[in-house]
Amino acid sequence: MRDKEQTYKQIIETAFSMFSEKGFDQTSMANIAAEVGITKPAVYYYFKSKDDLIKGLFDIIAKEIQSITSIDLKEMNDTDLRTILYSLGKKAISLQKQNLQFNQLFNQYLLLAARDSYYSEKITEIQQKFFNTFYDLFKHAVKMKAIKDENILIKSQLLGLVFDNITNFILTDTKLDFDLVWREAVDNTLRGIEL
Query: Does residue 6 sit in the same domain as residue 28?
Result: yes
Domain enclosing residue 12, as ranges: 1-48
Query: Does residue 23 sit in the same domain as residue 96?
Result: no
- Per-residue b or e along 121-156, where b marks 16 or more CB atoms closer than 10 Å to that residue's CB: ebbeebeebbbebbbebbbbbbebebbeeeebeebb
Residue 53 falls inside a structural domain? no
pLDDT score, position 150: 94
Residue 54 falls inside a structural domain? no
Residue pLDDT, tens place only, 50-88: 999 999 999 999 998 888 888 888 777 766 789 899 999
| Whether residue 25 has pLDDT greater than 60 | yes
pLDDT score, position 1: 47
Count of domains in the chain? 2
Residue pLDDT, tens place only, 158-175: 999 999 899 889 888 889
The pTM of this model reads 0.84
